[in-house]
Amino acid sequence: MPGAAVLLPCLLVLKGPLAAVPFLAAALSSLTRSGRLRWPAALDRPPVALAVAFVLLGSAGLWYVSGLRVSGDEPHYLLMAQSLWNERDLDLRDNFDRQDYLEYTPGPVGPHYGNPRRDGRPFPAHSPGLPILLAPFYAIGGRRACVLLLALCGALLAGQVRAVAERLGADPAGARLAWAASLGPPVFFYGFHVYTELPSALAIAVAVRLLTPRASLRGAVLAALAIACLPWLHLKLLLVSAALAALGAMRLRGRALRGFGVVLALAGAGFLSWYHYVFGRPSPFGIYGGVPPEFSEGSPSRALAGLFLDRSFGLLPFAPVWVLAVYGCARLARTGDGRALLALLGCLAGPVVFWRMWWGGQCPPARFLVPAAVVLGVALAQASTAAAGRGLARWRGLLLAGGFALAVVAIARPGDLLLVNRGDRPTRLWAALSGERPVERYLPSLVFESTAETRVALVWLAALALLLALDAGARRDARVDAWYGTPLPAIAFFLFVGVLVDVWARGP
């Protein structure tokens, strides 16, 4: 409409690639209503679902790594895996001298060393758990074999999330949504980036699924082994390991409890003994020479908002379906099992929000929320089940499809680096999708403190609060629910954010 952009400049973001979004949303909505899009019955069989998930993540991963070198911490994990397999040690000096990293990146790669060993030799700053897991796979097929292993972890994780959601009372539609969302961003991104997040998420999900009052001795031992793996993957998981151990102590009985306790006691003693052998003291912080100062330099409120809203590292800009999990978390708080899951979420987020680099460095979005996949997935399933197709749950297919569409765009041309973000640098994905008005203008960057960015984040918080308030009304009132059968709430949300950002948060 001529002149519309003068009054509403935010409309100009749609004069570009995003112009297709309303038409694609309308087409998908029409197909859904006509019944032409149906859930394939075969996907309700776990082996089929596992195979489909593995093919999805594996094919996307092989495509992506074929066109892009490693980044961030990836070369350091791979180099540690090389050293473990070839030389049976973690002394990387000779590996750097030989430039072994040239197998997967043209380099140069500078060492990431932590506190020296007690004999003075340098030691990697990264935990050895992931390299130990990767070493045999790297020996078989290099970086691509490691990516296939991570794809398998992602496929298994989605199945575990669905199983836990069903056990906690989700209906079939809610459990299916949790499975599908757990394969999308951010898990999708870490199916082909060599980080600890996916193995950590799988270990947590396995432990949560197995720790039930009816657990057998075998199940309890497997849960204990999964918990014991977590500190080896990353020290930030120590708190959630303790929480899972406490959960097992409360839930298990008899032989299962005794077996669980013995395995954890032996694993804990081995873990501390290893640190004493390497650094001369039985403390997991020996690798850092003590508690890192970065853990007291963060801003918890900004970090917490950034984990969900940041335009480069937040969850919701890249996977909007997870907004439904907010209502699901409220439902989880009503039951004992749900409160245990929320406590795990707090233990996962706690060490992150106090850390100065809560965004995770040079990496894809929402890195530190990947280990919380089982909690968020169950919350999403609970929200979908309780909504019974009313309110915001009407849009679950559109929101899910939106996240997958962004993921496809982000990996379509790996060499364009649309997926990997760093600090407060402009996000390449949003730049590629911008029209005559940059999309980034309407999304907050909370990596560094800024009045304008804080205001944009407040606008988003207010808009989401209004949307969820309307959603709560739709569950009680059929007239409000009818609005969600139209584009009206989406248009109002878009204009609310756009106008407030242009008028107040950033100015004309």
Tens-place pLDDT, residues 119-131: 888 999 999 999 9
Average pLDDT for residues 208-234, to the nearest whole number?
96
Alpha-carbon separation of residue 106 from 71, 100, 109 (angstroms): 11, 10, 9
Question: Which conformational region is residue 391 in: left (phi greater than 0), alpha (psi within -120 to 50 degrees), or beta?
Answer: left
Q: Is the pLDDT of residue 295 over 70?
A: no
Tens-place pLDDT, residues 476-504: 899 999 988 888 889 999 999 999 999 99
- pLDDT at 294 (0 to 100): 62
CA torsion sign for 168, 172, 174, 175 is positive
Cα 302 from Cα 439, distance rounded (Å): 21
Q: What is the reported pTM?
A: 0.95
pLDDT band at 508, cuts 50/70/90?
confident
Tens-place pLDDT, residues 157-184: 999 999 999 999 999 999 999 999 999 9
pLDDT band at 109, cuts 50/70/90?
confident
SS3 content of the chain, % helix, strand, coil (to 5): 70, 0, 30
Please list, in sequence order, all residues whose beta carbon lies within 8 angstroms of the beta carbon of residue 80, skipping any fewer than 6 positions away: 90, 92, 124, 126, 128, 131
Q: How high is the mean pLDDT of the chain? A: 92
